[in-house]
């Protein structure tokens, strides 16, 4: 007779089978440490109090668990963005054009470290770093070269930049103006998420509180002038790359988002005036079902936060839109072709979870910047998943899965518990100043490392199934002369520009920074006067001070 419940099934059907074929490990858990039962059934949903109408609803309807668009990819395939930037603006422009020719549908700009932390290419702190991990952008001239021949009224651009986000936005606006494209016509996303820099990445420039002012200034300016631009992409990606679990990724991302929303409201903005342009950035890791559940939980959490905590009325304010990138930290130098399979699984998780845009890492990125051949293969991975796999043909294909719905609920509950702990510490900024998030991520990273070293967590080709594999040939190498070429161009710019105009613009920016008015118009005046990024940032350093490394005890 068929079993009436799980307990009967375990006793009468599973039990005898396990005696003959013992399970391969004593306990199964997700990457976040959530226990995985042997089977999930309708009774699990009932036990967790999951109500299909309340907690799932339908796609395009609150609480958006099943997607923010009613027809998802049946109407429009996700935006395919391959994160790119290296060497010089001219080299990166050639890579952008190549990717667009191959079918990429949006740009994603990687900036070098000096640009990220506010130094020009000829600054002593930029020595050895110019153009290595992204494109150097020191002035409007560089931005014009970077975007040459790219129709900015038709191509959306994502810029992964934080401490200097408002400056790069102004450079983009000014470059578009040079093309004859007004700022109300450009579209894209600015990461502009400075809080996670203190938590996980370290590319900050100023202390947290004045940095938050710069974030909110972008919110205000774009609300009035750049309506098609996403003013922030609150990022869980980098915290996860630093070692956070999926639960911590959700919790710390939304705790940061809550801080940004509250800061904007405190500055006098109405929530529905800026919240529709808040977007998110998550990682896609290897654990397929936990990742899918994470995205579904994220949509429901954001809808609740915006409606219940901030009183949003506009449905767009409650809709979580997010970009996904496959996990750089999962890439291995050993047997690098294995990275193709890892990234395919991760990309599939993002698609099954309803991501609005996606970047797939390349197989050689653990060794060098990706080659054209590698980035083409990464783009083809997305295209095959989009047009051949069938994954894009139904809305929320894993909705109703007993396992996925249970996991979605568990992740949401655990993440909200973390958010409550952060609130008890005085909120996100206060928790950062106390080192809370950094300690939690550090503990998770340490636990992961121990599991890999002990062999309890298998990394194929690293601690199991190890073989000698020939190295990948023809890796991308940055031209060592490129940095000198960039520096020479910068020196020429300084000689040819109007120094009187430059000094006047920087002086006005200093006055604005010391006041409480919006800094963006003054920054825009500076970039259009061909002030350099480093000069603008030095004004802010002089006024705001410079952030020292946060101590974590």
Higher per-residue confidence, 372 vs 120: 120
Terminal CA-CA length for the chain: 59
What pLDDT was estimated at residue 484?
93
| Pairwise CA distance, residues 326 & 84, whole Å | 14
Give the residue-averaged pLDDT of 128-152: 95
Helix (H) or strand (E) holding 288: helix 288-304
Task: Tell me the chain's radius of gyration from C-alpha atoms.
Answer: 24
The CB density around residue 535, as the number of other CB atoms within 10 Å, is 20
Residue 236: closest CA among 200, 211, 208: 200
Tell me the percentage of the chain whose pLDDT exceeds 70: 99
DSSP class of 284 = E
553 confidence band (pLDDT: 50, 70, 90): very low
Cis peptide before 514 (omega within 30 of 0): no
Is the pTM higher than 0.85?
Answer: yes
538 confidence band (pLDDT: 50, 70, 90): very high
Per the prediction, the chain carries an average pLDDT of 95
The CB density around residue 443, as the number of other CB atoms within 10 Å, is 13
Find where tokens 């603008």 sit.
536
pLDDT in tens, 460-478: 999 999 998 777 778 877 7
CA distances to 42, 85, 185, 547 from 550, in Å: 47, 29, 40, 8
pLDDT at 552 over 60: no
What's phi and psi for 290, nearest 5 deg?
Answer: -65, -40
pLDDT in tens, 259-296: 999 999 999 999 999 999 999 999 999 999 999 999 99
**Would you state the structure tokens that stand for residue 514, as one six-digit string?**
């010391």
What's phi and psi for 77, nearest 5 deg?
Answer: -65, 150
DSSP class of 159 = E
Q: What is the CATH number of domain 52-454?
A: 3.20.20.240
The answer for residues whose C-beta is within 8 angstroms of residue 168's C-beta and 6 or more apart is 111, 115, 137, 159, 161, 190, 533
Give the residue-averaged pLDDT of 195-224: 95
Helix (H) or strand (E) holding 160: strand 157-160
CB-hemisphere CA count at 13 Å for 537? Answer: 26
Give the residue-averaged pLDDT of 441-466: 95
Give the residue-averaged pLDDT of 299-316: 98
| Pairwise CA distance, residues 513 & 504, whole Å | 14
| Pairwise CA distance, residues 531 & 28, whole Å | 57
498 confidence band (pLDDT: 50, 70, 90): very high
Give the residue-averaged pLDDT of 287-312: 98
pLDDT at 513 over 60: yes
Give the residue-averaged pLDDT of 395-422: 97
The answer for residues whose C-beta is within 8 angstroms of residue 81's C-beta and 6 or more apart is 104, 105, 106, 107, 108, 158, 323, 357, 358, 359
400 confidence band (pLDDT: 50, 70, 90): very high
Alpha helices in 370-427 (DSSP H): 372-387, 402-424
| Pairwise CA distance, residues 114 & 120, whole Å | 6
| Pairwise CA distance, residues 455 & 530, whole Å | 55
**Would you state the structure tokens that stand for residue 142, as one six-digit string?**
């560089």
Give the residue-averaged pLDDT of 316-320: 98
The answer for residues whose C-beta is within 8 angstroms of residue 202's C-beta and 6 or more apart is 549
What pLDDT was estimated at residue 374?
93
**Would you state the structure tokens that stand for residue 68, as one six-digit string?**
């923010």
With beta carbons less than 8 A apart as the criterion, state whether 428 and 255 touch: yes
Determine the distance from the C-alpha atom of residue 258 to the mean position of all C-alpha atoms in its chain, rounded to a whole number.
17
| Pairwise CA distance, residues 98 & 344, whole Å | 22
pLDDT in tens, 41-82: 999 999 999 999 999 999 999 999 999 999 999 999 999 988
DSSP class of 347 = H
Find where tokens 């654990």 sit.
287
With beta carbons less than 8 A apart as the criterion, state whether 429 and 255 touch: no
**Would you state the structure tokens that stand for residue 235, as one six-digit string?**
């990022």
pLDDT in tens, 341-397: 999 999 999 999 999 999 999 999 999 888 889 999 999 999 999 999 999 999 999
**Would you state the structure tokens that stand for residue 442, as one six-digit string?**
């550090």
The length of the chain in residues reads 553
pLDDT in tens, 100-113: 999 988 899 999 99
What pLDDT was estimated at residue 550?
56
pLDDT at 84 over 90: no
Sign of CA dihedral 353, 357, 363, 366: negative
Concatenating the DSSP letter of every residue in 67-108 gives -SSSSGGGT-PPEEEEEE--S-HHHHHHHHHHHHHTT--EEE
Cis peptide before 529 (omega within 30 of 0): no
| Pairwise CA distance, residues 364 & 377, whole Å | 11
Helix (H) or strand (E) holding 280: strand 278-284
Q: Are strands 357-359 and 322-326 parallel, antiparallel or unpaired?
A: parallel
Tell me the percentage of the chain whose pLDDT exceeds 90: 90
């Amino acid at each position: 007779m068929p079993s009436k419940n799980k307990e009967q099934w375990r006793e009468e059907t599973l039990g005898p089978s396990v005696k003959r074929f013992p399970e391969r490990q004593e306990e199964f858990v997700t990457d976040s440490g959530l226990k995985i039962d042997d089977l999930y059934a309708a009774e699990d949903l009932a036990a967790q109090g999951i109500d299909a109408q309340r907690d799932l609803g339908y796609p395009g309807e609150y609480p958006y668990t099943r997607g923010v668009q009613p027809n998802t990819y049946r109407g429009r395939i996700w935006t395919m963005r391959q994160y790119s930037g290296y060497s010089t603006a001219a080299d990166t422009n050639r890579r952008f054009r190549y990717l667009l020719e191959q079918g990429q549908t949006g740009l994603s700009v990687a900036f070098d470290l000096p640009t990220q932390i506010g130094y020009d290419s000829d600054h002593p702190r930029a020595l050895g770093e110019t153009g290595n991990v992204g494109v150097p952008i020191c002035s409007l001239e560089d931005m014009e070269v970077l975007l040459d021949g790219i129709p900015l009224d038709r191509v959306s651009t994502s810029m992964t930049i934080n401490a200097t986000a408002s400056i790069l936005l102004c450079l983009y606006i000014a470059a578009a103006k040079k093309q004859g494209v007004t700022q109300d016509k450009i579209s894209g996303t600015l990461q502009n998420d400075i809080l996670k820099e203190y938590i996980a990445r370290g590319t900050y420039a100023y202390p947290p509180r004045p940095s938050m002012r710069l974030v909110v200034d972008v919110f205000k300016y774009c609300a009035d002038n750049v309506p098609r631009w996403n003013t922030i992409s609150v990022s869980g990606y980098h915290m996860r790359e630093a070692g956070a679990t999926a639960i911590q990724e959700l919790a710390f991302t939304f705790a940061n988002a809550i801080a940004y929303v509250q800061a904007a409201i405190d500055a006098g903005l109405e929530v529905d005036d800026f919240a529709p342009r808040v977007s998110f950035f998550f990682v896609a890791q290897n654990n397929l079902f936990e990742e899918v559940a994470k995205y579904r939980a994220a949509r429901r959490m954001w809808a609740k936060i915006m409606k219940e905590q901030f009183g949003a009325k506009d449905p767009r304010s409650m809709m979580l839109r997010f970009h996904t990138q496959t996990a750089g930290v999962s890439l291995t130098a050993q047997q690098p072709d294995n990275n193709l399979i890892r990234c395919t699984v991760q990309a599939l998780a993002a698609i099954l979870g309803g991501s609005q845009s996606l970047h797939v890492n390349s197989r050689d990125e653990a060794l060098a910047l990706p080659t054209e051949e590698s980035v083409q293969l990464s783009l083809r991975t997305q295209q095959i998943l989009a047009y051949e796999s069938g994954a894009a043909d139904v809305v929320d294909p894993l909705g109703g899965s007993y396992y996925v719905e249970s996991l979605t609920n568990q992740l949401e509950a655990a993440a909200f518990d973390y958010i409550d702990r952060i609130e008890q510490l005085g909120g996100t900024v206060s928790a950062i100043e106390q080192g809370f998030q950094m300690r939690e991520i550090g503990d998770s990273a340490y636990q992961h490392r121990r599991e890999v070293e002990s062999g309890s967590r298998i990394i194929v080709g690293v601690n199991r199934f190890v073989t000698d594999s020939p190295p990948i040939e023809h890796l991308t190498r940055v031209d060592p002369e490129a940095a000198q070429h960039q520096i020479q161009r910068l020196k020429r710019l300084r000689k040819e520009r109007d120094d009187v105009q430059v000094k006047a613009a920087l002086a006005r920016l200093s006055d604005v920074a010391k006041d409480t008015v919006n800094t963006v118009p003054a920054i825009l005046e500076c970039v259009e006067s061909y002030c350099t990024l480093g000069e603008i940032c030095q004004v802010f350093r002089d006024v705001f001070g410079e952030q020292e490394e946060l101590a974590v005890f």
